[in-house]
Amino acid sequence: MATASATAPDGSPVPAPAQMAGLIDHTMLKPDADEATVLRVAAEAREHGFASVCVNPRWVRQVHAELQGSSTATCTVIGFPLGANTTATKVAETDDAAAGGATEVDMVVDIAAANAGEEFEVVSQIRTVATAAHEGGAILKVILETALLTEEAKGLVCRAAAEAGADFVKTSTGFAGGGATEADIALMHGIVGGRLGIKASGGVRSYADAAAMVAAGATRLGASSSLDILAGDDTSSASSAAGSY
């Protein structure tokens, strides 16, 4: 595992625990999360200066209102968690999210198309959703769902995301098993590093996990155990939210 003395691929030092906040999308995607839980997560993000709060679409407006006046962005998910929606559905979700105040959207790629090698279809969908996101004032992160993709498909999605105008590639939803690995982050960095952001998500529960992902090339982290990361704990106490999302 990387430590605070390690460096990222660009030569910059891996941030110490207390400096990790600006890299973290503080996440609450549990399907049974209630409003009090979601608003608590938003309040934590405001207090600690996390990069964003990532929630399911039905909570976007509430989170956006809670974060007014802070530097923390409102983030939501599109085509989540399966990625099997049509492009038109993903665009409609993106438009609705942007209208509600989301400035970051994380879209699950068409997993079947990626594994089938249908690069044109993958590029076309990402480009269409990216256009909708950008017109709405949001950035687009493309979720690969690495646990379900072949190595060839992972590369295809990264290339497609760059070609189609996405802003980030992201490892996982947290719902398909597996999660972020140093190997997958390194692969993604090798293809899009320096051009797109790279988000490690799924199983990032401790500072050691977070530091290892940054050392491998991650520029953003998705975590529900964000407070444990800032505290430098080696294992998560699930202080804010259970699960690996």
Cα gap 106→76, rounded to integer Å: 6
pTM, rounded to two decimals: 0.94
Residue 32: count other Cβ atoms within 10 Å of its Cβ.
Answer: 5
Domain, as residue range, for 140: 17-231
Q: What is the pLDDT of residues 139-177, one digit of tens each?
A: 999 999 999 999 999 999 999 999 999 999 999 999 998
Query: One of 110, 199, 209, 228 is an active-site residue; which one?
Result: 199
Specify if 1 maps to a domain.
no
Q: Is 30 a catalytic residue?
A: no
Specify if 5 maps to a domain.
no
Specify if 242 maps to a domain.
no
Specify if 8 maps to a domain.
no
Specify if 4 maps to a domain.
no
Instruction: Give the domain CATH number at 139.
Output: 3.20.20.70
Q: State which amino acid sits at residue 20.
A: M
DSSP code, position 50: -
Q: How many domains does the chain have?
A: 1
Query: One of 167, 170, 209, 228 is an active-site residue; which one?
Result: 170
Query: One of 106, 167, 184, 209 is an active-site residue; which one?
Result: 106
**13: Cβ–Cβ under 8 A, 6 or more apart, which residues?**
4, 5, 6, 7
Specify if 241 maps to a domain.
no
Q: What is the pLDDT of residues 177-223, one digit of tens each?
A: 889 999 999 999 999 999 999 999 999 999 999 999 999 999 999 99
Q: Is 199 a catalytic residue?
A: yes
Q: What is the pLDDT of residues 5-60, one digit of tens each?
A: 689 999 999 999 999 999 999 999 999 999 999 999 999 999 999 999 999 999 99
Specify if 10 maps to a domain.
no
Specify if 238 maps to a domain.
no
